Structure 1
Amino acid sequence: MNETHEAITVISSMATRHVLNDLADAYTQRFGQRVTVKSVGGVAAARRVEEGEAFDIVVLAADAIAKLAAAGRVDAASRVGIARSGIAIAVAAGASRPSVDTEAAVRNAVLAARSIGYSTGPSGAHLMRLFERWGIARTIASRLVQAPPGVGVGALIARGEAALGFQQTSELIGVDGIDVIGSMPNEIQAMTVFEGAVCANARAPRGAKSLLHFMSQPDADAVKHRYGMEAAL
């Protein structure tokens, strides 16, 4: 099926690492083809592909994939929706749980928090826009804690560096030392679509397309749901 007996290589942002690792294992079990997934900060992943580092597949937020396609770093025709994810909210395990059921409640929780953790990814960008729209950006600026690339907001919360944290649901589920208290209310939720594409310098382009097809099929939905994600529409 594939051009090589070597592993199909995938690079992704941290948000999809659990889903991709499980789907890679399932693909290997079904077809006998090894797959390796390297998950790093999204900005770093895009930069490595832009600089020509050899991978077969890259999985990132759709806007990042679009930029790589425009730059000729991925095969635009190979783009496939993998999953989509919303933003969840968490506090330290056992800590008081503020109400987050409405936009006003989330705003109040942010204003009351000793420190607020957010990511370098799409969820963090969305939060910054919300804080500006709410008129509280300057008020809370000194209490904002951005997770370094490749570090989850959940880790900041567990270590006591952030009292309230926001990140993709998939990155908060299952993190020790935190409680996920809910998802962003619908009126301020932001769903990020993650796409996969075959890299321009892929060593196994046919195998990469086969793996992308496998990851986008309904059979893969259960794995996505396990980590708080949904099939891409």
Structure 2
Amino acid sequence: MAALAAVAAAASLLSATPSFAADALVAISSGGFAEAFKALAKDYPSRAGALPVQTEFGPSMGKTPQAIPARLARGEPIDVVIMVGPALDQLIADGLADGSTKVVLADSYIACAVPAGDPKPDLSTPEAVRDAFLQAPSVAWSDSASGEYIQHELLARLGIEAQVKAKGRQIPATPVGEIVAQRKAAFGCQQRSELQPVPGIDIVGELPDVIQKITPYAAAVVRSSTRRKEAMAFIQFLASRDSAPTVAKSGLHPRQP
């Protein structure tokens, strides 16, 4: 039985592995930069000398097979990674990404949402955020950078860790907005750029500055890439002034080159 389970797990993993185009630059983005990435990758091939971009997606961290570190560890032929800065720094330390090519693209802020049409709680002060967490019958947060901050720092800082964890859960891989839209949680928090494209929710607002956690998004060339020059050209395009309006529209704060 154990052998059969192992075979089934391997088959499942193989079936989830994407196919890669031989003539395309392969870039993978985590959720916070995903909307900007989709639009910019679609536009990029129209530039002189640019390769088409095969877009892939996965969390910056976590234990799911789709997570960027897991995909690189199993040898997927990825050229560019776009992810939260600290997670990218770990890939650089592990020798999977080239630190000399790292470029910070944008900053991301945490926001919170409720199902569309539901009353919006006040989030203007830390005390109001505390009340919003306590009054919600169910709460969700992500397993990426924003959720790690909420689970391991913010709730304790607000003095409500035990109460909220008893009725809340960390969501692996699936966008928190989808959980809120399906009314599987009455209140959910994630980076604004990840909540913004989800239908069926109302974004209440961002966390106040004094308890906000700003997450930088950065890109780098994967060390095993055979298209280093082309990969770096794509990163420079993502960081350019021409790309900044698209990045801002997605809910991020672009870094100016």
TM-score (normalizing by structure 2): 0.85
Q: Out of 50, 57, 65, which is 1:39 matched to?
A: 57
SS at match of 1:89: strand
Q: Match of 2:171? A: 147
Query: Given the alignment of the two structures, is residue 13 of structure 1 paired with residue 30 of structure 2, yes or no?
Result: yes
For 2:52 and 2:96, locate their aligned partners in 1 and report how far apart those are by CA, in whole Å.
24
- CA contact 1:193–1:232 (8 Å) conserved in 2: no
Q: Out of 95, 98, 112, which is 2:121 matched to?
A: 98
Structure 1: gaps spanning 5 or more residues: none
Structure 2: gaps spanning 5 or more residues: 1-20, 62-66
SS at match of 1:42: coil
Runs of 4+ in 1 over 4 A off after TM superposition: none
Q: Match of 1:134? A: 158
Residue 53 of structure 1 deviates from its aligned partner by: 2.1
**Structure 2 matches for 1:26-105, cutoff 5 A?**
26-31=43-48, 32-43=50-61, 44-105=67-128
Residue 52 of structure 1 deviates from its aligned partner by: 2.9
- CA contact 1:145–1:162 (8 Å) conserved in 2: no
Q: Out of 31, 42, 59, which is 1:25 matched to?
A: 42
For 2:170 and 2:180, locate their aligned partners in 1 and report how far apart those are by CA, in whole Å.
11
One-letter amino acid of the structure 1 residue matched with residue 45 of structure 2: T
- Please list the CA deviations of residues 160-188 of structure 1 after superposition, one character each: whole Å capped at 9, or x if unmatched: 11101100111111311100011111111
One-letter amino acid of the structure 2 residue matched with residue 30 of structure 1: R
- Please list the CA deviations of residues 110-165 of structure 1 after superposition, one character each: whole Å capped at 9, or x if unmatched: 0000111100011111112111122211112221122222x100000011111011
RCO greater where, 1 or 2, for CA within 8 Å and sep 6 or more? 1
For 2:149 and 2:255, locate their aligned partners in 1 and report how far apart those are by CA, in whole Å.
19
Q: Out of 172, 192, 196, which is 1:169 matched to?
A: 192
For 1:102 and 1:35, locate their aligned partners in 2 and report how far apart those are by CA, in whole Å.
42
Residue 199 of structure 1 deviates from its aligned partner by: 0.4
Query: Given the alignment of the two structures, is residue 116 of structure 1 paired with residue 139 of structure 2, yes or no?
Result: yes
Moved more, 41-50 or 164-173: 41-50
One-letter amino acid of the structure 1 residue matched with residue 161 of structure 2: A
Aligned residues: 229
| Percent identity for Structure 1 against Structure 2 | 32
- CA contact 2:33–2:193 (8 Å) conserved in 1: yes
SS at match of 2:150: helix
- CA contact 2:106–2:254 (8 Å) conserved in 1: yes
SS at match of 1:219: coil
Moved more, 38-47 or 200-209: 38-47
TM-score (normalizing by structure 1): 0.94
- Please list the CA deviations of residues 22-58 of structure 1 after superposition, one character each: whole Å capped at 9, or x if unmatched: 1111211223520011112222112222343210001
One-letter amino acid of the structure 1 residue matched with residue 246 of structure 2: V
